[in-house]
Structure 1
């Protein structure tokens, strides 16, 4: 008889939810992770620290209040790294306590150390002293997450040339920074440091950033980042980074030289599978450390599952949680429906971006007709009250049945506001509901009614001309 029914490798969002779901189904469950990494990368170096850092930046810089009190308004004139870290460390500590409590309440055994496969049903757990304990399990769920990819040609030193995990270890807020890579993580940190007053230059080899986001929303973000003095170098590739006494010089293949105190590489992420001993379980990862799975998150070995960032796109904490729950149910032979087709995307730049469904470009390429309804925060009383006059909500609507094809939000509370549209779409609703619904006043949620009316009026005008 195995030691456990379900063994989970990794205590991040996917692993944690998988372990608790299996425990709720009255299985014997254990979770393996290092003592200092309870909660995984999400809690300790990724999602939670970066989003808490963002809140600290917004508060201490007074950025959101400058529409009311002037461009020179700041809560604190000289913002230090310790000012930012106080809030971050507090939230990390509380979140770790919450996770430990949840695992304990659900009788999930916590095995401290790093796990590696010895055979398909056996995992060796190596603790801090180097002692290995063998653990067997009927089903195993891999949720080890990812780490920032580090190109071998780059000499990282954790202060001058860093990756996103090193941000929390900076000794001071740099006066200037080069961000290599305009993906989600790169742009989030670029916007935070720009808000702090750092002169930021973003270098991206592609011709645009966030190419999966609606172009109009991206253009709005670029405008605001440029307003924070961010410089963009699109279509550029970094040839070398030369360390200097006062920082580093980034050399581009085009011949440009960009001096900066700090260079942050945001060159994607690598699955943390190298030390798992996958070959002993009959498994293999791709060149980026990702493990292929089927629709139920089973690997090539049917009793071993993988969830979260380690399986690749979309690599979001929210989807990882749901993947963990679904994998645990399937592993425990409990009936469960697949993950919902509508996956919300939230990008915590300054200002926020969030969307669900299709973009204009996707609909145009697919020859699907649509109408656009837009509401701008400056037209809403709540927008004026909070000092956000640039935010917007955009609905993409089918003129055939008035269903929602996509919802795109830019501005304060975008990641929260999005879920109203997600719910309407998920329930098969139309903009008729949004037109007829009564929203609290004054709220940002009113933007749905304004945008729905805008789309409805445009469709009515088309119908009039067609008669």
Structure 2
């Protein structure tokens, strides 16, 4: 404790010291402190209402510069932190800052889609992304399970059909419960929630405009931009009038019927996959490559697996016009498309056109230029350093608007939480953006972690890599008589780093569940030898990674003849 006193004295800071062994209720105070801070030892040091920790953490905060920042906080501001955006990253950051004793406000407002769709608190993932997408994916998998069940002896004579309205109502009810939970959590943590659009008007000051046009001004010491992205439109005749996006699909009040999905993004293929799994006629129009930025061998295998389920792909075409032939729920649309490699034109009739060609960052109307925050003019993303700090020191960005970061919900949640802890909790940990696992929820799931093979070759050079791979046949597929050479697994290893696994890829059932565990192992430095030494759980799909033997460089056959 003496060292800490000397530190504050050297900084010219007066300290209020409470000696617990010299007050009557010292034991009770210590008990309350341990509940608040999760620290039972003393000294327990608070600076500007922020719990820094004990002696070691206080000196760490001093060395990192955090202590000085805490001491410089200006109580004249309305809030310590204002978060603009009520999605996963913003809420994570806001709640963590509130837990650390800070005055926090969240500004959240959803601009309706061109089709009029809007939603509540929670951002894209909860309302029009991960959650409804995974539930519709599950609905399609249940349909496949019904088909497989006959081979396993299940007999049923009733006609089985899918009811779109029943599904969407159940999903929207679940989403409603989640958004209510987020609101309740903010109230419990005393986070102020304002349903307004935020716009910077000067340094440390924003204007909040609600749906009625009423304006209120707030100031804060720090700001976090977590406004996310919204689907992009083509800019052609009829796109905003007649097409829908993922913003609209998950609450669509009627079955979309024969659907054209434009795009090859994860969202495009995921939506196309579950629509096909629900028995709809689905066509995917692809401008160039599938799943840009992902391992391209895996991407093509995803496409092939979808074709086996009846999804039609139109490669190297882009729409140039969408016409409405009939109104209805759904109606009938004509799409005129042009080849990207010539002048060939084609036409097609569909009930619904779903655009999934990418997303644009929501940073254009929040006044960033007024305070000098640099923004990538092409993408709208905010360049940040390794602690999510923008070009303006008191403004940070997390989630999809942060340039160069994976556009994944768990990444935004982790980044937001760690940011709050660094700003207000005396912590130093930074978000690890490298080994972020993800999965594409196509009918046959694709999970990955680490480098795509193309990127690994670029970073490490081909001669320094060894790629192990195999096709595999899930036991569940054998009796159901599903294809024995569709599922695929591969790992990419660095030869001169003890064969460390730098890329993990799997196309198969429940790939997301499998990838999660291996991602933890990769953070621990997983090597090929460690995989070989691991006993597999038999019979599972994941065990294939404990028995990989064939390298790509050997050229040996990897087709499967049996389980």
- Maintained 8 Å contact 2:333/2:349: yes
Give runs of aligned pairs for residues 22-421 of structure 1, distance below 5 A. Answer: 22-34=97-109, 36-59=119-142, 62-69=143-150, 77-156=160-239, 160-206=242-288, 208-245=289-326, 246-253=331-338, 254-283=344-373, 285=375, 286-312=377-403, 313-332=405-424, 334-340=426-432, 341-365=434-458, 366-374=461-469, 376-378=471-473, 381=475, 390-400=486-496, 401-421=498-518
1:182-221 C-alpha deviation (Å, 9 max, x unpaired): 1111111111111122222211221x21133333322322
The TM-score, its normalising length taken from structure 1, stands at 0.87
The separation in 2 between residues aligned to 1:50 and 1:260, in whole angstroms, is 22
Count of paired positions: 453
Partner Cα separation in structure 2 for residue 40 and residue 20 of structure 1: 15
* C-alpha contact 2:290 2:300 (8 A) present in aligned 1: no
CA RMSD of aligned residues (A): 3.0
State the Cα distance separating 1:384 from its structure 2 match: 5.3
Structure 2: runs of 5 or more not aligned: 1-75, 111-118, 339-343, 556-563
Distance 1:337 1:77, change over 3 A: same
Any conservation in 2 of the 1:297–1:305 contact (CA below 8 Å)? yes
Conserved 8 A contact 2:151-2:480: no
Deviation for aligned residue 1:344: 1.3
Counterpart for residue 425 of structure 1? 522
Mapped contact 1:397–1:455 kept (Cα < 8 A): no
After TM superposition, give the deviation of residue 102 of structure 1 in Å.
Answer: 2.9
Of stretches 196-205 and 73-82 in structure 1, the one that deviates more from structure 2 is 73-82
Report if aligned partners of 2:266, 2:291 keep a CA contact under 8 Å in 1: yes
Deviation at 1:123, TM superposition (A): 1.8
Q: Residue 303 of structure 2: SS of its match in structure 1? A: helix
8 Å Cα contact 1:179-1:202 kept in structure 2: yes
TM-score by length of 2: 0.73
Change in CA separation of 1:271 and 1:73 when aligned onto 2, cut-off 3 Å: farther
Separation (CA, whole Å) in 1 of partners of 2:281 and 2:476: 32
Rg: which structure is higher? 2
Residue ranges of structure 1 left out of the alignment (5+ in a row)? 460-467
Q: Distance in 1 between matches of 2:243 and 2:157?
A: 29
Please give the secondary structure, in 1, of the residue aligned with 2:462: coil
Q: Distance in 2 between matches of 1:227 and 1:416?
A: 23
